[in-house]
Amino acid sequence: MIEFTFWDIVRNLLFATRWTVALSLAAFVGGTIVGVVILILRISTHDWARRFGKGYIALFQGTPLLMQLFLIFFGMPMLGFRIEPWTAAVLCLTFYASAYLAEIWRSGVEALPAGQWDAGRSLGLHRVQELRLIILPQAFSITRAPIVGFLVQLIKATALTSIIGFDELLRTSNAINNATFEPFKVYGLVAVIFFVLCFPLTQYARMLEARQTAH
């Protein structure tokens, strides 16, 4: 058994937390970009675009995230593409996040009065301008609370990437526990770190929701 002091454990876990945060941010930013594209397809006037957007969302919401990780990490090399754990984790969580964000924003678009679209047309705006100037800013605004809530889920979902060898918080804690045989101390600290990351976001989402309800 390797001797680790309490501060050795804390230092190593905090170092791994940087990768958890980096992965969460990368996936959220990527999911936002892809999610906007999927949203536009989902609310398109073209039937083929709506079907594609609906199918994309159904695929990534209707299958386990762990299976998606396995398909990307183990499946891509079989197609001739060498992929690292970081790249696989970012890609998978980006697709996963984009499906959920697109659906959240779609609910925001559908919550807007039909008169918002009519107002855009009366101003002579074409559909892209309506979306960019009128519809999407309002949809993003009224869905801020569920977006922040989803970010909390995304941070916790990064723990699954330890399965494919990505050195985030959970994988590092497993390695430390195997060396120290102190699971309560190690995993207790991991729980505290996840709580510190997620609790402020949860409170912020509740504040946004209360403010939206009051308005």
pLDDT by residue for the chain (215 residues), tens only, comes to 567 788 889 999 999 999 999 999 999 999 999 999 999 999 998 999 999 999 999 999 999 999 999 999 999 888 888 899 999 999 999 999 999 999 999 999 988 887 777 777 777 777 778 888 888 888 898 999 999 999 999 999 999 999 998 888 999 999 998 888 889 999 999 999 999 999 999 999 999 988 877 76
Rounded CA gap, 164 and 70, in Å? 7
Backbone torsions φ then ψ of 81, nearest 5 degrees:
-110, 115
pLDDT for position 133: 81
pLDDT for position 1: 53
Rounded CA gap, 46 and 1, in Å? 63
In the chain, the domains with their CATH numbers are 6-214 (1.10.3720.10)
pLDDT for position 125: 75
pLDDT for position 215: 64
Rounded CA gap, 168 and 21, in Å? 9
Q: Which residue has the tokens 């510190």?
A: 196
pLDDT for position 135: 85
pLDDT for position 41: 95
Rounded CA gap, 145 and 142, in Å? 8
Q: Which residues of 97-111 are buried (b: 16+ CB within 10 A; e: fewer)?
A: bbbbbbbbbbebbee
